[in-house]
A and B are shown apart, each in its own frame.
Chain A
Amino acid sequence: MNVKSLQKKLGRRYGSAVSVRVAEGCIVVSGHLKRWEDIVTACSMCVDKKSGMHVVNDILLEGEKPASVRLPSLQDHALEGSRPDVLIIGGGISGVSIARELSKWKLDILLVDKEADLAVQASGRNDGEVHPGVDLNKGSLKQHYVLLGNKMYDRVCEELSVPFERCGQYVGFTDWWMYPAVWAYAWQRKHICKVTDTRMMSRKELAKREPNLNPAFKFAMFNPSAGCVCPYGLTIAYGENAVENGARISLNTGVLEMEVKEGKICSVQTNRGTIYPRIVINAAGVFAEDIARMAGDRFYSIHPRRGTNSILDKKAGPLVMGIASIKTLKKNTSHTKGGGILHTVHDNLLVGPNAVETPEKENYATHRSSIDAVFAKQKMTAEALSERDIITYFTGVRAATYEEDFIVEKGRKTRNLIHCGGIQSPGLTTAPAVALDIEKMAVEELKKEGAVEPNPAFNPVRKAPPVLNRLSNEERNRLIRENPDYGEIVCRCEEISRGEILDALKSPICVPTIDGIKKRVRPGMGRCQGGFCMPLVTKIISEFLEIPEEQVRKAGEGTEILLRDTKEIRKTGEAAEI
């Protein structure tokens, strides 16, 4: 690559504020700028995929202290001195799927996550689409893994007892004259990129399959292999299966520092003690760069990109039965399809997401402008879409590299490290395939120091607790007669019984919080958003754990829902006033 001409280009735009150099196999961009968008643009300008080098961003954002990682305040020695064969950092879809695949081997596997549950960050904050990969160009890791991952979903979801539906993806076009170009694109995707299910769909067939889409659609590109899955449901299921097969998962565990000697991680410090792993897998999402830095192997940068999705009432569900979006000619500068409408496995609709660059890795605040923008666009996909049906919304943050591709490789300078970084959309789809490759790399690395035996007790099948409202009346009746708790409905919107909530509390990765239960069995996911069931779930948790209700939390630390008993006036009294 030509550093000089690149520097010139940067100079024209940012003067002397930004400089670029190649150092230790990375394209390092440094300097200082006032606006985050400029930093992202400057770094993106320096991307050179052919070189095999990644852009490392060292530009400082003027006047702003970078937000520090939110770490658990918990301090104990639960993990002190542990010597796992494999330490996986990150309890998102990447980390847990790797843990599960590695549990096929007789290995001591420890997965840590700083949050109070799995799938708290990107894996719990996306639309759950299992992508066909039709929008990806050949040659990227994303494209390589999306083809493999998509095909694996039927088996994986069956093994893990997770609902999965191949509901199909429709991209609608409103202009006839675009037909030849789209036809050629679809042909190229099908035959060259090997997204073999791609086909053109006539207006008539589209209207038959999805009668509520924009009547102005003249034709569509269709991928029947596209599907949807509950992303946090799948993450938790993977985690549970890993635990069932012997892996350990330690939540509320943040990585603070690493000791690296001669290209090897010797120890990893956490708030729960120092760990001495043989190898480390970096699946830390938006923090992958920070972990890489600690491990002395920072050769890429993450620029967080947030997106907001709205969840619509099940009543609106029939509006779109698959995954639909509109393609207009407006130049799309953001690295996303611009969102769409997706019919979830739980029969809600998801609308979004948008894409906004942000320096904040863990700011999940939502903004009205995001919702307004997404709805303005998606009403062109389906006119009858209405903000009135919104029951809630959420923001997720994508962990993008400047190359907009994954990093799935062994450490470049640090030997006992494997990176699973830059995982953004379609990272959920690719996870099963990426996990297999990382499993191979890890086993290969471990074999250098001695034999690695298969785990004879490995069982890929997760025994999932029953979901009563999906059963036939006969089956449901039988289960209730065995366990009457299955007949006592606690969450009226989602029809969840006390028995199912207790099952979640007894599950392999028990997270006894309102949100933990909600993610596992869905009380509070419905249209009343927990208005009726939250007090009841609080009570069930307190009874199960034998703790006072005041100690029951919504999610992580410091999220207790109740303060005290009534008739017990605070001792501090007026001191609490401003």
Chain B
Amino acid sequence: MKEYDVIIIGGGPAGLAAAISADKQGAKVLLIEREARLGGILKQCIHDGFGLVRFGEKLSGPEYVERFIHEFRERKIESELLTFVTEMKKADGSFMLTAVNRQGVQEYMAKALVLATGCRERTAKQVQIHGTRPAGVMTAGTAQHFVNLQGKMPAGRCVILGSGDIGLIMARRLTLEGARVLGVYEVKPEPSGLTRNIVQCLDDYQIPLHLSHTVTRVFGEGQLTAVEVAEVDEHMRPIESTKKKVACDSLILSVGLIPENEMAEKLGIRLDGHTKGPFCDNHFMTEITGTFSCGNALHVNDLVDYVSESGELAGAAAAKYAFDAVGVGSEARIKSEGNGSETGLKVEGNGDKFGKKAGECSGGSGRKNAELEIEVNSSLQYIVPQKLCLGSGEEMAVFYFRSRESVAKGTFVFTVDGKEVFTKKYRNLKPPEMERLELNLSLFQAAPGSRIEAAVRKEAGA
């Protein structure tokens, strides 16, 4: 059995960044990817706009991820491609992984795990589209795979349901390939995708966007022949009198993404109902000690730059965690090639911190600290991380949050026991656009049992 400090599951932008950053810390890293090539979903995202935040330039998806793949290879980090993890177990503070690939059934051991498993798309049936089961109904990601990776067109005259970014991107892509996109229908009163995508993918091509509309039914025995569309009321229920048929040969769905955490759930990791990703602390460690989450598995991002960032943070924290594990008597038998002492990261640890208890955390620093959950009120969809590991003094932490509704002028507020400790003013907060904050944790002068709250306050008159 091969042993590693850190095993990363998933070779997309999050996993690659995690692997590189864990390697930088000196950890012995293995990255497991189920597909034949690294890059994850970015392989098929040939449009531009990636990397503006990180590199200050507009790259295509493959160009963006190639920079990481290049560094990954330069660093000679180990990877197993076309390898599928079938089982994960935690025993004696380390993780046993079973995977299959064309060579057989493989077993690996790691002190820390980074779950960078990405997300999947919601399907037609999950949004209650009824009727027959013809060919021609598929998710935007599937259509994108066909068009960009296989060079095949799945659509002639198409209707797109959902104004998520992939749907918008595909509206433009299919148009450029000679398909006729009849319209994009969005059940919500405002678009789900980024404003820049609405402008560049729909407006520039005169593709109509029908807000507060949905597809309720599909027709056709063999091939899709038409869809039924309807306006929806304020509860998003279709209004009977507005139903009409639109003839088309394909229905492309962009109705939301779901973080893939089935593996995490098997390990017993608790998920946040709002993000559908694991609850985690500011080191992106989940509630199962030694497992870290990042990228779209943690929460659905709209910019890949932040996916990479969370990967880097999780990877570094996982490496530090693994080194702590070496310092522990009974765990010391696990040899680490990337020895912590070389990088000066080795810190004292004690045996019992592996059994992480509520109110306790053990990411990175190795000291037992207070762990406090951040409460969000109804003004926010979520905040990640959901918990803070305080008491380690000066430490920077990154937060990602989404507002629940559009706010023209507002203030983001952190309070500790009712006292404001941080505020930031925003203009045009929108649910589809995730916001990022980087704060020094020393701001939170909290005692165990303190109440930390996050909220967006609307400015009067806004």
Query: Known contacts being A365-B130, A487-B100, A549-B150, is A559 close to B105, with CB within 8 Å?
Result: no
Instruction: Report how many residues on chain A are interfacial, defined by Cβ distance under 8 Å.
Output: 62
Asked if B102 and A484 make an inter-chain contact with CB atoms under 8 angstroms apart, the answer reads yes
Asked if A473 and B84 make an inter-chain contact with CB atoms under 8 angstroms apart, the answer reads no
Minimal beta-carbon separation of A567 from chain B (angstroms): 7
The reply on B399 being an interface residue by CB < 8 A is no
A-B residue pair count with CB separations less than 8 angstroms: 142
Asked if A570 and B156 make an inter-chain contact with CB atoms under 8 angstroms apart, the answer reads yes
The reply on B131 being an interface residue by CB < 8 A is yes
Query: Known contacts being A477-B104, A554-B135, A577-B180, is A393 close to B223, with CB within 8 Å?
Result: no
Asked if B125 and A488 make an inter-chain contact with CB atoms under 8 angstroms apart, the answer reads no
The reply on B54 being an interface residue by CB < 8 A is no
Q: Report A500-553 residues with CB < 8 Å from chain B CB.
A: 527-532, 534-535, 538-539, 549-550, 553
Interface string of A559-578 (1 = CB under 8 A from B): 11111111111100000111
Rounded to whole angstroms, the CA-CA distance of A481 and B104 in the bound complex is 6
Smallest CB gap from B143: residue in A: A535
The reply on A413 being an interface residue by CB < 8 A is no
The reply on B398 being an interface residue by CB < 8 A is no
Instruction: Report how many residues on chain B are interfacial, defined by Cβ distance under 8 Å.
Output: 52
The reply on A80 being an interface residue by CB < 8 A is no
Query: Known contacts being A476-B100, A559-B134, A566-B177, is A495 close to B84, with CB within 8 Å?
Result: yes
Asked if A550 and B262 make an inter-chain contact with CB atoms under 8 angstroms apart, the answer reads no
Asked if B125 and A393 make an inter-chain contact with CB atoms under 8 angstroms apart, the answer reads yes
Asked if B104 and A527 make an inter-chain contact with CB atoms under 8 angstroms apart, the answer reads no
The reply on B194 being an interface residue by CB < 8 A is no
Asked if A578 and B125 make an inter-chain contact with CB atoms under 8 angstroms apart, the answer reads no
Q: Using Cβ atoms and an 8 Å threshold, which residues of chain B touch A393?
A: 125
Interface string of A470-500 (1 = CB under 8 A from B): 0001101100110011011100100101000
Minimal beta-carbon separation of A560 from chain B (angstroms): 7
The reply on B155 being an interface residue by CB < 8 A is yes
The reply on A63 being an interface residue by CB < 8 A is no
Smallest CB gap from B151: residue in A: A566
Q: Using Cβ atoms and an 8 Å threshold, which residues of chain A touch B249?
A: 563
Q: Report B340-360 residues with CB < 8 Å from chain A CB.
A: none
Smallest CB gap from B130: residue in A: A366
Which of B34, B136, B145 meets A489, CB within 8 Å? B34
Asked if A392 and B128 make an inter-chain contact with CB atoms under 8 angstroms apart, the answer reads no
Q: Using Cβ atoms and an 8 Å threshold, which residues of chain A touch B133?
A: 364, 394
Smallest CB gap from B218: residue in A: A365
Asked if A366 and B131 make an inter-chain contact with CB atoms under 8 angstroms apart, the answer reads yes
Query: Known contacts being A531-B120, A534-B142, is A559 close to B223, with CB within 8 Å?
Result: yes
The reply on A334 being an interface residue by CB < 8 A is no
Q: Using Cβ atoms and an 8 Å threshold, which residues of chain B touch A562?
A: 146, 152-154
Interface string of B122-139 (1 = CB under 8 A from A): 011110101111111011
Which of A70, A532, A553, A565 meets B153, CB within 8 Å? A565
The reply on B387 being an interface residue by CB < 8 A is no
Q: Which residue, B100, B103, B154, has most C-beta atoms of chain A within 10 A?
A: B100
Minimal beta-carbon separation of B189 from chain A (angstroms): 22
Interface string of B260-300 (1 = CB under 8 A from A): 00100100000000000000000000000000000000000
Asked if B135 and A553 make an inter-chain contact with CB atoms under 8 angstroms apart, the answer reads yes
The reply on A391 being an interface residue by CB < 8 A is yes
Asked if A566 and B223 make an inter-chain contact with CB atoms under 8 angstroms apart, the answer reads no
Minimal beta-carbon separation of B169 from chain A (angstroms): 15
The reply on A62 being an interface residue by CB < 8 A is no
Query: Known contacts being A364-B133, A477-B105, A531-B123, is A563 close to B222, with CB within 8 Å?
Result: no
Asked if A556 and B156 make an inter-chain contact with CB atoms under 8 angstroms apart, the answer reads no
Q: Using Cβ atoms and an 8 Å threshold, which residues of chain A touch B135?
A: 553-555, 559-561
**Residues of chain B having any CB pair with chain A under 8 Å:** 34, 82, 84, 86, 98, 100-105, 120-121, 123-126, 128, 130-136, 138-139, 141-142, 145-147, 149-157, 177-178, 180, 217, 221-223, 247, 249, 262, 265
- 19 further interface pairs, Cβ-Cβ under 8 Å (given A476-B105, A555-B135): A364-B132, A392-B123, A394-B133, A480-B100, A488-B82, A492-B34, A531-B138, A531-B142, A534-B138, A557-B222, A559-B134, A560-B223, A563-B153, A565-B153, A567-B151, A568-B153, A570-B178, A576-B156, A576-B180
